Amino acid sequence: MAEQPVIKLHDGNTMPQIGLGVWQVSIDDARKAAVKALEVGYRSIDTAAIYKNEEGIGQALQETDVARDDIFITTKLWNDDQLNAEKALETSLKKLQLASVDLYLMHWPCPAKDHYVEAWQAMIALQKQGLAQSIGVCNFQEAHLKRLIDETGVIPVVNQIELHPMFQQRALHAWNALHHIQTESWSPLAQGGKGVFDQEVIKNLAKKYHKTPAQIVIRWHLDSGLVVIPKSVTPSRIEENFAVFDFRLEKPEISEIATLDHGKRLGPHPEQFN
């Protein structure tokens, strides 16, 4: 099997192109899923303060034989803490039992609160202190990104956004790319394949490549240059979702999947979520 791909971020750090997501997972299930994922070969885990399972990831890091330096940990600054980023990261690091995270993301812009620029300035300071190796954002629209960049001069390395075949966000993905911001897909499987796994194009590609619909969708993210963080607490699916490095989709196949885009979100709209 080919090596897992890594992405070079604009600050010079690298990040695995595939990771394990652990939203809506208990502390102990997060621990078990992370241990299993690290055993299978994943080297990136995506958690958040609001997931309330950072302790489980911290425990998994203690349990695994994989060296800390070989693992990429992402956590996120929750909305209520935008004016309290230093304390929030300190709490997250304690739970993760880490001296620093590899990527610290602002979870939502919450434009109505209008605190995201101040939060970003605090995150820039945290990176300078070495508590976060890289800093980025989630759910930022073009206008929010422009403002961050204009007012601080510091470009996020990553914008983690809802992105799956039914909601491909091509304009924002292109804007991110133009500004050297890596797009990372959340809910990459449309939360269990809702309306995706049963599409003819996905089923036909699964048959052609002898893969499952989930593997086709994950491969589509990889072949589209996206970082992808499928969530699973099921050991067989954790394995399945990582067994995607022995094939590639062809350009016309990627174009066929483009036709599935209905522009409908599963999650909230970042402009309205406060």
Catalytic positions, written as ranges: 51
Find the binding residues for ligand NAP in span 7-26 (CB under 6 A): 21-23
Find the binding residues for ligand NAP in span 78-137 (CB under 6 A): 107
Give me the residue whose beta carbon is nearest to ligand NAP. 21
235 binds ligand NAP (CB under 6 A): no
211 binds ligand NAP (CB under 6 A): no
d(CA 81, CA 58): 21
Sole binder of ligand NAP in the list 160, 169, 176, 182 (CB under 6 A): 160
Instruction: Measure Cα distances from 248 to 59, 111, 165, 206, 239 in Å.
Output: 35, 39, 16, 12, 18
243 binds ligand NAP (CB under 6 A): no
143 φ, ψ to 5°? -65, -40
Residue 249 in contact with residue 223, Cβ under 8 Å?
A: yes
Closer residue to ligand NAP, CB minimum distance, 129 or 188? 188
Residue 219 in contact with residue 254, Cβ under 8 Å?
A: no
Closer residue to ligand NAP, CB minimum distance, 9 or 189? 189
Sole binder of ligand NAP in the list 53, 75, 139, 169 (CB under 6 A): 139
Q: How many CB atoms lie within 10 A of CB 86?
A: 14
46 binds ligand NAP (CB under 6 A): yes
Closest CA to 77 of 85, 67, 69: 85
d(CA 113, CA 34): 34
Find the binding residues for ligand NAP in span 168-207 (CB under 6 A): 186-193
32 binds ligand NAP (CB under 6 A): no
234 binds ligand NAP (CB under 6 A): yes
Return the C-alpha torsion angle 80, 82, 87, 92, nearest 10. 70
d(CA 150, CA 261): 32
Closer residue to ligand NAP, CB minimum distance, 153 or 184? 184
Sole binder of ligand NAP in the list 27, 35, 135, 229 (CB under 6 A): 229
**Binding-site ranges for ligand NAP (CB under 6 A):** 21-23, 46, 107, 138-139, 160, 186-193, 212, 214, 229-234, 237, 240-241, 267
